[in-house]
Chains A and B, each alone.
Chain A
Amino acid sequence: MNSMTDEYVTEDGRRIGGTVMDLRNITLRFGGVVAIKDISFDIRQGEIRAIIGPNGAGKSSMLNVISGFYVPQEGEVWFKGYRRGPMKPYQVARLGIARTFQNIALFDGMSVLDNIMTGRLNRMKSGFLSQAMWWGRAEREEIEHREAVEKIIDFLEIQNIRKTPVGRLPYGLKKRVELARALAAEPQLLLLDEPMAGMNVEEKEDMSRFILDVNDEFGTTICLIEHDMGVVMDLSDRVVVMDYGRKIGDGTPDEVRNNQDVIDAYLGVAHD
């Protein structure tokens, strides 16, 4: 375990740093139901960390704990060296954690551009009067952030739909716009909730490429949940395996693949 606390460089040349997010003995209950039972793991700077497990294993609950939407009854959440107390979700966002959703949660009434601009809301500082008059800081800021957003639009190759209302887009593009919105926040930690659910092979390949590129080019730390084992094993540096709210495996894809508990609980049974 010692080696895990040191910085190292991956085979493909990415630099993995120290711990960004540290979850210690997390337990989450809904009434009498225990969704997460005494789970600990960490996420390190610059890595792609995956959480896998069968349906109902508590993966989404885990992601919601990390994003601050659920507050666990027991355990500690440490982010960038500080213990995070109970916070409102929007305060967590302002710490630099952005996410996408399993069931796309875009703002359907707004254009693609406006949706992505919402990702930068927390970076906009202009006052009310400046905005009401559209003068000074408000106008300057709008243009600055528009430039930043346009870079992400180029990066994700969605230039041609920037003025389209999001409601009219097909599913795969919506997923991409949602990723763009999360990226626009320039997060320190990016959470992806089943980024490839419901996609065909081609769309999955595109999305995998984008995830790798994001990690590679911006150095963004990523934590993702995914069903598709093949994708997870190819993408991630380290994998947490959950089953019935417990952690049954944690390590590199190869380690996890050879873990007997994991094979029994998850890989052993026939599963798509």
Chain B
Amino acid sequence: MDQLIFAGEVFLNGLMTGVMYALVALGFVLIFKASGVFNYAQGVLALFAALTLVGIQQGQIPFAHLINAAFGTSLHHFGWTVPAVLAIALTAGVMVLLAFLIEKLVLKHLVGQEPIILFMATIGLAYFLEGLGDVMWGADIKTLDVGLPQGISDAIESTTANWFGYGFFIDRLDIWATVIAAALVAALVAFSQYTKQGRAMRAVADDHQAALSVGISLRFIWVMVWSIAGFVALVAGIMWGTKSGVQFSLSLIALKALPVLMLGGFTSIPGAIVGGLIIGVGEKLFEFLIGPMVGGATENWFAYVLALLFLVFRPQGLFGERIIERV
């Protein structure tokens, strides 16, 4: 019985982690649907957003290390701090600018290339952004606090203690993350269904040429989609960053979104969410049940192996469209 209750707690925590994965996966799906680009850099985008947010909030001078090294100065901070809301808005602005630059400098020149070439280009982009983030803001581990509630939820602990005689430990941050993610998904779905830009975005996703022929500007759509993906990355970066600090491993956690997508299918928003939940719960339960027998840390690979096995049996994912081969 105790084991079952523990498992229940693990399950809930897994769900919360899954929401985080789903959040990053969402950014992938958006970009993939609108431009056919499988954006490996989405995880690094989240890291970059979080680094920028901390930097702006704490009034760090960008490129301070580089300037110091080049000119022998010893700059580090402007000496002010920026309120969280303003800092988030400014970071969102930076992400839009970044989206614009990515379109102008990279995507525009790769139109019509094979998907795998675009994929490799985004790996290059990921390296560049990682280096840029470090050069701009320094590579030390930073704490991020934008005022989200943290710590164990007392309410849940006491309620579950009354019910089961054992209090569940659930982080309040995870609850908030779930709520925010749900709101974000709802907003994105509403946007793509009910606004003109959303319709244009779906048109581009269906067929570039046809969309062009009815007068939709591809470039505008791409900048918009990458901006939205940048914004989603920012939200994910805030959540992950608040939870475990802003550091390089953030982009590795975000890499987990890849198996999530393989489960859910690359083109499906519900798929990204369900896939995220399955992976989140699956890896936590696996670590809980099997982990101790094999030395632990199975979270490193569980998601990938699960996705791999799954794909062998259902190559198009849970919700992806069936692949029909033609000659």
Contact = CB atoms under 8 A, between A and B. Distances in A.
Interface of A: 60, 64, 69, 101-102, 105
A195 to B, nearest CB: 15
Contacts of A60: 327
Interface string B303-327: 0000000000000000000000001
6 contacts: A60-B327, A64-B327, A69-B327, A101-B327, A102-B327, A105-B327
Contacts of B327: 60, 64, 69, 101-102, 105
Interface residues of B, number: 1
Interface string B280-291: 000000000000
A64 B327 CA distance: 9
B208 to A, nearest CB: 19
Contacts of A102: 327
Contacts of A64: 327
A233 B327 CA distance: 26
A104 to B, nearest CB: 11
Interface of B: 327
Q: By DSSP majority rule, is chain A's interface helix, strand, loop, or mixed?
A: loop
6 closest A-B pairs (Cβ-Cβ)? A101-B327, A69-B327, A64-B327, A105-B327, A102-B327, A60-B327
Contacts of A105: 327
A101 B327 CA distance: 7
B249 to A, nearest CB: 39
A225 B327 CA distance: 14
A64 B324 CA distance: 14
A113 B6 CA distance: 66
A97 to B, nearest CB: 14
A105 B325 CA distance: 14
Contacts of A69: 327
A33 to B, nearest CB: 12
B185 to A, nearest CB: 32
A35 to B, nearest CB: 12
B189 to A, nearest CB: 29
A103 to B, nearest CB: 8
B112 to A, nearest CB: 14
A60 B326 CA distance: 11
A130 to B, nearest CB: 33
A105 B327 CA distance: 8
Nearest to B325: A69
A24 B327 CA distance: 24
A253 B327 CA distance: 28
A51 to B, nearest CB: 16
Contacts of A101: 327
A60 B327 CA distance: 9
A252 to B, nearest CB: 30
A37 B41 CA distance: 50
Nearest to A101: B327
A240 B276 CA distance: 54
A256 B327 CA distance: 29
B321 to A, nearest CB: 14
Nearest to A70: B327
A127 B327 CA distance: 31
A69 B327 CA distance: 9
Nearest to A30: B324
B217 to A, nearest CB: 30
Nearest to B324: A30
A217 to B, nearest CB: 28
A102 B327 CA distance: 8
B326 to A, nearest CB: 9
B137 to A, nearest CB: 43
A102 B326 CA distance: 11
B197 to A, nearest CB: 35
A69 B324 CA distance: 13
A155 B279 CA distance: 59
A69 B325 CA distance: 10
A250 to B, nearest CB: 25
Nearest to A193: B327
A108 to B, nearest CB: 11
Nearest to A102: B327
A101 B326 CA distance: 11
